[in-house]
Amino acid sequence: MVKLLTHTLNEAGIDCTIETCAIFNAKAQLEEEYDMVAGYHIDTDVELSFCQKFVNKYLHFFDSHHCFSFANVTKREEMGGYNVYTISPISVN
């Protein structure tokens, strides 16, 4: 995944250094300052937290497209005792 993310960012002209963390450390990463953050199959609550902390700087892995894309995560109303989220790509100009 790191290679795919690096390739995607390099193709967009972004030279970067990537740090990784396991899911159990993801919430702790909210205390750090990063230029952008990416998530791959992480808890949606964590994704929501990343989107709120790193506005327009969160990359989500969209399985259906097999690629990373900047995304916005929003929490919608609860349905049948479950939280419902919307994860939608945002365009970057």
Count of all residues that appear for the chain in the document: 93
At 74, the pLDDT band (50, 70, 90 cuts) reads very high
> Whole-model pTM?
0.72
Phi first, then psi, for residue 53 (nearest 5°) are -80, -45
Task: Please list, in sequence order, all residues whose beta carbon lies within 8 angstroms of the beta carbon of residue 84, skipping any fewer than 6 positions away.
Answer: 75, 76, 77, 78
pLDDT at 77 over 70: yes
In this prediction, residue 86 carries a pLDDT of 92
In this prediction, residue 88 carries a pLDDT of 92
Query: Mean pLDDT, to the nearest integer, of 38-65?
Result: 86
pLDDT at 26 over 90: no
